Structures are given as C-alpha cells and as structure tokens.
Amino acid sequence: MTATNSVAAETGKKIGRYFFPRGLPGLEQCRYFDLEELPGNPLFRLLSAGEEEEIALIVVNPVPFFPEYRVELTAWDLEELEAKSMNELSIYTTVTVAEQQLWTNLAAPLLFNTVKQRGRQIILDRYIEKLRVPLPVQQ
C-alpha cells in the first residue's frame, strides 16, 4: 500500500532514518527510508522514502498478530545489517488493503538495525506461502 502525501503529512514522531544499501524491491532507487509513528495508532508505522516523499508504505510489527512468527538470520544477514545480534533489530512487514481487509506479507519482512540505522528486506523460505496473510484486526 502506498500512502499519499496527505497520509505522510499526518505522521507522528520520527522513529529513525534507515539506510537500505540495496533499496527495496521495486524501489531500488531509494536508499533512505524514514520510519514514523502514525498518530493515534500504536500498531502501524509509516515507512517513507527519503528521496521521494510521495512514496510510503504502511508497516506493522507482525508478532502481536502472529505470536509464533520467527525470523532466523544467518551470520551473513547480520553482517549485512551490521548487527551483532537479533536484539539490535526491529522487524516489520508491509501492509496492504484489499477487499475491505488488511493483509501483510510474512514471507518478506523488513529488518531495521536500531543501533546502526541500517535496513534490509529478506525472503524467508519457510513463510513463502504466506505472501498475503489477513491481519486479524478488529474493525
């Protein structure tokens, strides 16, 4: 889901600016992304491209919705993120809206090193069948 400028203008506190060395799939030209709170919504965040203000994604921490969700990284993954351990990382998944339902992609989480301000999207083979999973939120 790409947010419009009106959504971006209503964002809350900036959590951080993250450098994605490879960009994101489909947004390879963008390397810097700002992660921001959404006012009045403690669950969802806005991830906006630093180079192109009109590009933004809604993201969510999947663990409150899927407590069994686990991300296992290799030493190479940690090195790419300049992280010493998983404790330095925050995990988010992208959110889309379709058919009056919120969906998330558990197969391709976004990882944020909160210490070094680096980010990366990875593919989790064990969740590959969960590219589009309904978010169990009450409306």
Per-domain boundaries in the chain: 5-134
CB 80 within 8 A of CB 73: no
Nearest to 93 by CA among 137, 132, 37, 50: 132
CATH class name, domain 5-134: mainly beta
- pLDDT digits (tens), the chain, 139 positions: 444 334 444 557 899 999 999 999 989 999 999 999 998 888 999 999 998 889 999 999 999 999 999 998 989 999 999 999 999 999 999 999 988 899 999 999 999 999 999 999 999 988 888 888 999 876 5
Q: What is residue 27's three-state secondary structure?
A: strand
Q: Return the exposure string of 49-70: e unless at least 16 CB atoms fall within 10 Å of the residue's CB, then b.
A: beeeeebbbbbbbbeebbeebe
What pTM, to 2 d.p., does this model score? 0.86
